[in-house]
Amino acid sequence: MQLLATLPNVYLKISSFGYIDPDWEAADKIIESVIATIKVFTPQRCMFGSNFPEENTLESGSWTMKSLVKVFLKISESFT
């Protein structure tokens, strides 16, 4: 990721948490990893995505948009 972040035209889409862990809403490790990655790319080169409705399956945690936005807000708390 650090090598990709050196390329000025590379941006980061933050999504698909459920593919990593179906219980992603309570997975602090995922949130910590996303925050660390945003720090590498800077907030100016990152964006959140939902992949809704394709990603909203039992295997991916069956999340709601409300819960997804809550996690996005939690991730972005430390950034201006």
Please indicate, yes or no, whether the overall pTM of this predicted structure exceeds 0.75.
Answer: yes
Whole-number pLDDT of residue 31: 87
pLDDT at residue 42 in the model: 95
Cβ(65)–Cβ(24) under 8 Å?
no
Sign of the CA dihedral with 63 first, then 65, 68, and 70 last: negative
Q: Which two tokens stand for residue 38?
A: 């945003």
**What is the chain's pLDDT, residue by residue, as a tens digit (80 residues)?**
999 999 999 999 998 877 777 777 777 888 899 999 999 999 999 999 887 777 666 666 667 788 888 889 999 998 97
Rounded to whole angstroms, how far apart are CA atoms 55 and 34?
A: 18
Residue ranges of the domains in the chain? Answer: 2-76
